Structure 1
Amino acid sequence: MAETLTERTSDHHGLAAHEVLLLLESDPVDGLSEAEAESRLRRYGHNVLPAAKPDGPLVRVLRQLNSPLVLILMVAGVVTAALGEPVDSSVIFGVVLLNTVVGYLQETKAQAALDALRGMVRTEARVVREGRSYRVPSEDVVPGDLVLVEAGDKVPADLRLIRLSELRADESALTGESQPAVKDEVALPVETPVADRRNMLYAGTLLTSGSGAGVVAASGAETELGEIHRLVGAAEPLATPLTRKIARFSRILTVVILALAAVTFAVGVVRGERAVEMFTAAIALAVGAIPEGLPAAVTITLAIGVARMARRRAVVRRLPAVETLGSTTVICTDKTGTLTENQMTVRQLWIPSARYEATGSGYAPEGHIVDRQGRPADVTADEALRWCLLAGAGCNDASVGTKDGRPTIVGDPTEAAMLVVAGKAGLAADVLSALPRMDTLPFSSERQYMATLHADPVARRRVVLVKGAVERVLPLCRAQMGADGTTRPLDPDAALHAADGLAAEGLRVLATAVQFVAEDADLDESALGGTLLFCGLQAMLDPPRPAAADAVAACHAAGIAVKMITGDHAKTATAIAGAIGLLPGRHPGDVLTGADLRELPDADYPDAVDRAAVFARVSPEQKLRLVEALQARGRVVAMTGDGVNDAPALRQADIGIAMGAGGTEVAKEAADMVLTDDDFGTIEGAVEEGRGVFDNLSKFIVWTLPTNMGEGLVILVAIALGSALPILPTQILWINMTTAVLLGLTLAFEPKEPGIMHRPPRDPARPLLTRALVIRILMLSVLMVAATWWLFEWELGGGASLAEARTAAVNLFVGIEVLYLFSCRTLDAPVRRVGLLSNRWVLGGVALQVLAQAALTYLPALNSAFGTAPLGLRTWLFIAALSVAAWTIVALDKRLRHRIV
């Protein structure tokens, strides 16, 4: 029995109800005994998802320090402290602490996602034990329990249905299916996918109508929800393009710095200098070469990107996700509630004598019914249209209201759509008052239609209203209604042809009919056959969001592929994809179903996935594999979604994007970013911001590295020549820290460059620094070293003291950095392209840096602390001339390379 009870529900849907009860040793009337329920609770545990033991605080802190750049900074902090510079050492360790805290907080994301999954099943359940029905916490439900369910309940565990009445379940959060699933208790083939298992109810889903009873086939980790929990736990968050590039850059930088330090030590020892002094000099070189401001620049630039995205209704939960959007090459998006409004809407009304279109979208009451010429329809002039609408609104158990200014529904979305379209013709408000309901024949999967009996006091008769599947309602009809209300011969072929055409457009089609009977007549199902008047067809769909098509087009223009991944039917998915521009030219392989994916050989899988634009009827496992296949081909994947079934893929993707208003908490916790307006169009703006963030980070790195390399080379040259150091280690730290804060960080506020969304995504394999930028950095480093040595020797040769010569060298370094800052505001175009005043932070930072250098040069306290001395006008003129010369050479290099490109 233990093995049976711990099997997943994939086995139970393939068995007859009595076989399941036998295997689970349960009774269809009395359920389990209290003693047996307690025994099974001890044996199989509570009906909750298992909590993985999180890493302790120490492990999580150490994980943040496992970076070459951070390790270099820590060594630099220790060295500066040993050199007797506690202030500089404190600044460096402050930077390390800031990045450690940010990373530590980000580590809570995965645990929060799993906690949200566990919370989804913490409800109450109505169970039958020893023949008595009562409510227990869902945590106490055990395999074999007999559970009673009805409309509005959240399913506490995976149930095999044994009896039911008109039961439907909203499983969109689990399967992606936009329509409520109609349930029955008939055994199904074992290979039936989750979305088509009509005899099962799944933990965490909602019941929209009907009632029933089911035996618990799986609880806790063994449920379908538990399988998703396992997938979320197994899908490790990937490093983002930024973190990968920064890590690689840091490793290269580590090697370069250590190599320079080793060369410095070796050269000095060979020249006969003391080993201790050369070791100190080598450490000073390493300190100078370390870009202390880089970690802070990364964090601040990303934080500014977060703030900008929040203003565009995108909330970022993980800082590197800001930059990841900028390098995204593929967006995998869910359909229901993401590209569509998740609100069924009647689009077409086919009447035997005419065809009408319903304007407006969703459950909002705005819109009209218009004819083919776009003129408002007169329902009083077309009786068939009027009774088609009345049948949809009267033969209906749904209700439409508002909450927080947004339309809400209670009941089946299809019925809500029929209520709304009747309201657009002015009929929904008074249908039940004018035609009060007397009796109901509810919808069932066997009859596939619903019928209601209404009193018609004005006409002194009763009316039977019917709606349902076309192939079931038409055989019940003896004739069809004309526009004038008279009876006409039924033309079933025309109706079926019209229904097929509407279904081919991805619309769900329902037929409506009416029967006028005597005042004392009853509703008799057996008497309906061949007595109804066919009124017409209502065709509906979950419409695309208004901005979806424009957003998809903008993504395509930016070189980003958009792929729809949904659990819905292929026809519906194809219709929506066509409407929003995902299938501009239909080709074989553009649309793949879950069954198609299962049949694909492993060798062909990545190519087929890369080519396709629409994936329909896919399972959570397949969503995850789709993302992994795209990543294996080198794609940077953004995955959008709102359901429980999206959580594993959201976490596996390079960036997971959840819907904030309509999404589940599981999806939000698993995602890196949440769209507060649930609008796919918001992603376009987020991608634009992400590209801007990467640009600004690149600009900071290109700006800061020449100084760090130049400072290291200056020390290396001094050791090689056996000369006095042109710049002291403390002066190097002054340059690095003041310029990083006052100059470099202003680049984080740089506005996005024109045309940023008209260039293709960055190649994920492209390094952080291109060959052209590396050459520019090396060129400026050499220029800094040459200019500094010339000025240093010129000053000494002119009778200046060693302190004055070093002060001139320090100010020259800063002067070149100031002018180079303006050049770095755009890396491949003239500065005038972005405008001198477009970033006022740069101007403010330059002004503060000038004041800081004046203080370093002329304040006695700083002269004493940093070994500087006041300078004369002649020296300042030399500093200005050399700075302008270096900036001019860089500008010429940029212009020549831009022309070549």
Structure 2
Amino acid sequence: MEEKQNWHNLDFKEAARILETDIENGLSEKEIKKRQEKFGRNLISKERKASSFKIFLRQFKSPLIYILLVAGVITLFLKKYSDSLVIFLAISINAVFGFWEEKKTSNILEKLKKVLKTKAVVLRNGQRVTVWEQDLVPGDIIFLKAGDRVPADARLVQAEDLKISEAILTGEWISTQKKTIPLPKETPLADRDNMVYMGTLVEKGKGIAIVTETGRGTEAGKISRLVEETKEEKTPLQKKLGGLGRFIGFLIGSFCFFIFFGGILRMGDVLEMFEASIAIAVGGIPEALPVVMVVILAIGMERILRKKGLVRNLSSVETLGSAQIICFDKTRTLTQGKMALEDVLSSDNQLALKIAVLCSDGFIENFKQSTKRWKINGDATDKAILEAGIKNGLVKNELEDDFPEIAKAPFDPANKYLLSLRKDKGKFFLYISGAPEKILERSKNKNGWQKKINQLAGKGLRVVGVGYRELKKEDIKNEREINLNRLAFDFNFVGLIALKDPLRPGIKRAVSLCRSAGIRPILVTGDHKLTAIAVAREIGIKAKGQEILEGRELEAVSDQELDELLEKIKIYARVEPSHKMRIVSAWQRRGKVVAMTGDGVNDAPALKKADIGVALGSGTEVAKESADLVLLNDSFSIVVKAIEEGRVVLDNIRKSIAYILADSFASVILVGFSTIIMGWPLPILPVQILWNNFVEDTLPNIAYAFEPKERGIMKRRPSSPTSPLLTKEMKVLIFGTGIIDQLFLVFLFWFLWGHLGFDLDYVRTMVFGALCIDTAFVVFSYKSFQKNVWQMNPFSNKWLNVSALLVFVFLFFALYCPPVQKILHTVPLGAKSWFLLLGIGFMSAFLVEIT
């Protein structure tokens, strides 16, 4: 038995021969067991869920954490237990907090899942039996009916008015009318009308098919493999923080090397120089930074969750704010994924709707209950027509009582229309509904209608034509043997019913906001070109001929040619999963941060490949597993809110980094200048620097997470993934603050120790106090890199105000609590000392602002 075939190109009898199966009897039990051993279970392997231990270990993957671990081990080796305790405490808090946030997100996603084991009706040993779909094998004969999920890929043997929704696989929102005749080899997946595919939904009719592929061999399985093979890239923030960590590590290593060997060359004590090097390392390493990053990202994640967006991992929060390109999938992302009445073109709208309702195969399942509980069954077209009828007072069940049906000719894919013979007060009417061109061919009044049909089709609308013909009694003498198709001519063409998949509320505004935020919107859909153009026009994307590319054209160009076309293309139509990945990859080669939206199985590979994959909460599990952001209520407006929050997070991360690095820079310069240049003893002890870096700095830094968005944040251009984390304004502020702080602290140390000759413990306590108080005063300068404190409200963030006050509370503990005094080697300070420290803090903040 051959394993790979173009099944759509074969007659179903030939397919049965190749698969060695009997259409009349199915497979035998013996053959089924053999095939189950050969092909395995009919399952698509899912991506393994990360264990709790793996999620915990992930928290340590950062250059900054590596540096802290090294510093912790060295201080432990030197028996500086208080120093190592504080360092390992910082690492632990970071790991626990990060683990807790990611685990919570994972649990929320698990609750979204609906794992259902489904069954299939299959022919085996000449008998119809029901089996679990995972037990199906190639060659099985399966039976399909309305409401079924197709359990495997299969070649149709019989199709009776069979319509299947393949939106999750192809992106095409209109259900496909199935048939059994062979098709050309080159027929695209979306047009293979003689095949049914795993996971798609039977909307109408019934059918019999031969299973051709199971499990990972199915089209859904191929997409699943594509997802698994897609390598997940680091986010821009991860790359930038990694670069920052390596840069800090290099600088600290260079400083330590210079101080240690420079001190020895100056005939300094080796142990003393080693301690000075450790002080430099401790002062330069921003111990609080990993913790603060996790907190800021987690708070951003919580804010997005409150707006009904679930971010699956912390680092993706900032990536949202960096989005430069957003590729929209159409069906159910931009649109609601269901048909609705758009327009009726007729001289008698009620008559046109009445005919459409009476011809419809849809029905109200629970008609006798209240209207709120009515459930409409049928394919997408039938549902839309019945809903429109109900809104206009034309309820099918009531109409059928008034106009009883005598005979019916079901929809025929060849004729593309449906006929219904009805009785109306002693008269007989033959109603017709279907493809307008086919009905027009059989009508008397044709003038002007073709132009209207073309206009509606050009707008991407689904158009249904309706008409009627009054029959004489002699036309239907024998009601039981009426051949309605012989009477299908000379109709009165009544009008056109236009249906569409309506846009979701707020989509136009959301796309407009993306544009004003410097984000380029691109429509990428499996739909037909005309439909894609119409939807794009509705959301504000205007595209000419050369700005639209279809899947077959994309297939024909090389990556290099695609790179050249990229800037021009606004719409991609009739695309397949591999095409979406190529589009994402092409933009990424240009160095752009790409967001991709989707909800179907076909979207999953591109969602994973994109920098930001966005899936609908009601979408397929494979799409949600591949995404970075899940829209819990399916509203696209959440994406814009998430992008805004991402930008706020990036702003606040930069404020926090600048604040921490300025403090660390001041500590490094203070220790280096005092010990190497001046040959003084350490002006501040490593454990005191650790207290300042981790205890005093952490709360103000966390408070930056609550900074409100700055005005015009969604009018800015998005941050480039290649742009440095430290901007020019940040560097000026970091070095300016560091130098000013260092000058004050060096002068203070010299004045108290070198000039007045105070005790070294007291002088170190004063330097330590000045460094801490400076933290409380300067924290407000970092609220904005563009404005001075007097140009804004410096106290707008209540948490920042509280954190500044807590700096003083912790400093009181450090100076007046005996156990803490013992650890930090501090002494109590008097009122005069406090006045001096407050004066230094105020002057330092003032000089930072004016420079």
- The one of 561, 574, 599 aligned to 1:642: 599
SS in 2 for 1:29: coil
User: Match of 2:385?
Assistant: 418
Identify the match of residue 279 of structure 2 among 271, 279, 284: 284
Q: In the alignment, is the contact (CA less than 8 A) between 1:346 and 1:538 conserved in 2? A: yes
Amino acid at match of 1:427: L
The equivalent residue for 2:747 is: 790
Cα distance in 2 between the residues matched to 1:626 and 1:98: 41
Amino acid aligned to 2:847:
I
The separation in 2 between residues aligned to 1:197 and 1:204, in whole angstroms, is 16
Q: 1:856 to 1:746 in 2, by over 3 A?
A: same
Match of residue 575 from structure 1: 534
What is aligned with 1:187? 182
Structure 1 Cα separation of the partners of residues 437 and 534 of structure 2: 22
CA deviation vs aligned residue, 1:244-303 (integer Å, no higher than 9, x gap): 111111111111111111111111211223333322331222112111111111111111
- Aligned residue for 2:559, secondary structure, equals coil
Quote the offset at 1:540 in angstroms: 1.4
C-alpha contact 2:105 2:311 (8 A) present in aligned 1: no
* Secondary structure of 1:244's aligned partner: helix
TM superposition shift of 1:171: 0.5
Tell me the SS of whatever aligns to 2:147: coil
- Determine whether 1:151 maps to 2:105: no
**Amino acid of the structure 2 residue aligned with 1:889:** L
**Aligned partners of 1:805 and 1:432: how far apart in 2?**
98
Cα deviation for residue 185 of structure 1 reads 1.1
Q: Residues 810-889 of structure 1: matches in 2 within 5 Å?
A: 810-889=768-847
- Counterparts of 1:61 and 1:847, CA distance in 2: 34
Q: Distance in 2 between matches of 1:101 and 1:790?
A: 41
| Contact 1:753/1:834, CA 8 A, preserved across alignment | no
Conserved? CA contact 1:610–1:630, under 8 Å: no
Aligned mates of 1:683, 1:61 — CA distance in 2: 28
Q: Does 1:174 align with 2:128?
A: no
Task: Give the aligned partner of residue 474 of structure 1.
Answer: 440
Q: Alpha carbons of 1:690 and 1:118: their partners in 2 closer, same or farther (altered >3 Å)?
A: closer
Would you say the 8 A contact 1:117–1:666 is kept in 2? no
The one of 203, 208, 211 equivalent to 2:198 is: 203
Quote the offset at 1:56 in angstroms.
7.8
Indicate how the Cα distance of structure 1 residues 337 and 618 shifts in structure 2: closer, same or farther if over 3 A, else same.
same
Aligned length: 840
User: Which residue number corresponds to residue 724 of structure 1?
Assistant: 681
CA contact (8 A) 1:589 1:608 kept: no
Q: Secondary structure at the match of 2:546?
A: coil
Q: Distance in 2 between matches of 1:436 and 1:94?
A: 81
Aligned-partner Cα distance in 2 for 1:297–1:610: 39
2:783 aligned counterpart, secondary structure: coil
Q: Which moved more, 1:716-725 or 1:825-834?
A: 825-834
1:565 alignment counterpart: 524
Q: One-letter code of the match for 2:409?
A: L
List per-residue Cα deviations over 1:579-606 (Å, max 9, x = no partner): 11011xx334322111121122332202
Which of 201, 221, 224 aligns to 1:226? It is: 221
- The answer on whether the counterparts of 1:639 and 1:655 sit within 8 Å (CA) in structure 2 is yes
Quick one: which amino acid aligns to residue 410 of structure 2? P
Determine the C-alpha separation between the residues in 2 that align with 1:112 and 1:194: 36
Counterpart residue type for residue 819 of structure 1:
F
**Matched residue, 1:396:** 360
Question: Do the aligned partners of 1:161 and 1:215 also contact (CA within 8 Å) in 2?
Answer: yes
2:159–2:208 contact (8 Å) kept in structure 1:
yes
The one-character-per-residue Cα deviations of 1:785-835 (angstroms, maximum 9, x if unpaired) are: 221111011112224221221111111112222222101011221235552
Structure 1 residue 508 displacement after superposition: 1.4
Pair 1:853–1:53, CA change in 2 (3 A): closer
* Aligned partners of 1:49 and 1:229 also within 8 Å: yes
Equivalent residue letter for 1:671? A
Does the aligned pair in 2 maintain the 1:334–1:564 contact within 8 Å? yes
Find the aligned partners of 1:21 and 1:595 in 2 and give their Cα distance. Answer: 31
Cα distance in 1 between the residues matched to 2:372 and 2:724: 49
The alpha-carbon deviation at position 131 of structure 1 amounts to 1.4
Do the aligned partners of 2:335 and 2:503 also contact (CA within 8 Å) in 1?
A: yes
Comparing 105-114 with 384-393, which one deviates more in the overlay? Answer: 105-114
AA aligned to 1:590 is E
Pair 1:435 & 2:400 matched = no
CA deviation digits over 1:476-512, x for unaligned, max 9? 22x3xxxxxxxxxx1x141111101111111111110
1:321 aligned partner, one-letter code: S
Deviations 1:146-166 (A, max 9, x none): 111111111111001121111
Which of 465, 475, 478 is the aligned partner of 2:431? 465
Which structure 1 residue ranges, 5 or more long, are not aligned?
354-383, 480-489, 894-901
Question: What is residue 763 of structure 2 aligned with on the other side?
Answer: 805
Say if 1:642 and 1:667, in contact at 8 Å, map to a contact too. Answer: yes
Deviation (angstroms), 1:518: 5.5
Alpha-carbon spacing, 1:116–1:21, altered in 2? closer, same or farther (3 Å): farther
**Aligned match of 1:239 in 234, 246, 251?**
234
Q: Which amino acid aligns with 2:492?
A: L
- State the match for 1:485 in structure 2: none
Code of the aligned partner of 1:791: L
- CA drift at 1:528: 2.4
Aligned: 1:530 with 2:489:
yes
Which deviates more, 310-319 or 116-125?
116-125
Q: Which residue of structure 2 aligns with residue 357 of structure 1?
A: none
Q: Which residue of 2 aligns with 1:386?
A: 350
In 2, distance between residues paired with 1:452 and 1:314?
Answer: 48
Instruction: Answer whether contact 2:352 2:494 (CA < 8 A) is retained.
Output: yes
Runs of 5+ consecutive residues of structure 2 not aligned to the other structure = none
Aligned to 2:609: 652
Secondary structure of the 2:523 match is strand
TM-score (norm 1): 0.89
Closer, same or farther in 2 for the Cα pair 1:410/1:344, shift >3 Å?
same
Are 1:448 and 2:377 an aligned pair?
Answer: no
CA contact (8 A) 2:173 2:338 kept: no
Residues 48 and 121 in structure 1, CA contact (< 8 A), matched pair in contact too: no
CA distance in 1 between partners of 2:587 and 2:290 (Å): 30
Contact 1:120–1:204, Cα closer than 8 Å, also in 2: no
The corresponding residue for 1:96 is 91
Aligned residue runs from structure 1 range 103-122, under 5 A? 122=117
Give percent identity, aligned residues only.
Answer: 36
Q: Matched residues in 1 for 2:632 and 2:52: separation?
A: 32
Select which of 506, 524, 541 maps to 1:547.
Answer: 506
Root-mean-square deviation (CA, aligned residues, Å) is 2.7
Tell me the equivalent position of 2:544: 587
The match for 2:632 is 676
**Cα distance change, pair 685–53 in 1 and its aligned pair in 2 (3 A):** closer
The answer (yes or no) to whether the contact 2:83–2:686 under 8 Å persists in 1 is no
Q: Residues 434-491 of structure 1: CA distance to partner in whole angstroms, max 9, x if unpaired?
A: 22334332212112111223333xx1234332210012112222x3xxxxxxxxxx1x
Match of 2:466 in 1: 512
C-alpha distance in 2 between matches for 1:525 and 1:217: 37
Kindly provide the CA deviation profile for residues 727-770 of structure 1, in whole angstroms up to 9, marking residues without a partner as x. Answer: 01111111111223322211111111111111111122110001
Distance of aligned partners of 1:734 and 1:117 in 2 relative to their CA distance in 1, 3 Å threshold: closer
In the aligned structure 1, how far is the partner of 2:364 from the partner of 2:332?
Answer: 18
SS of aligned partner of 2:412: coil
Per-residue CA deviations over 1:635-688 (Å, capped at 9, x if unaligned) read 10111111111111111111111111x322222222111112212222111111
Three-state SS of the structure 2 residue aligned to 1:168 is strand
Q: CA offsets, 1:602-652, max 9 Å, x none?
A: 322023233212111100111111111111111101111111111111111
| Stretch of structure 1 that moved more, 468-477 or 555-564 | 468-477
Compared CA separation, residues 109 and 529, structure 1 to 2 (3 A): farther
The 3 A distance-change label for structure 1 pair 106 and 445 is farther
Give 1:424's aligned amino acid: K
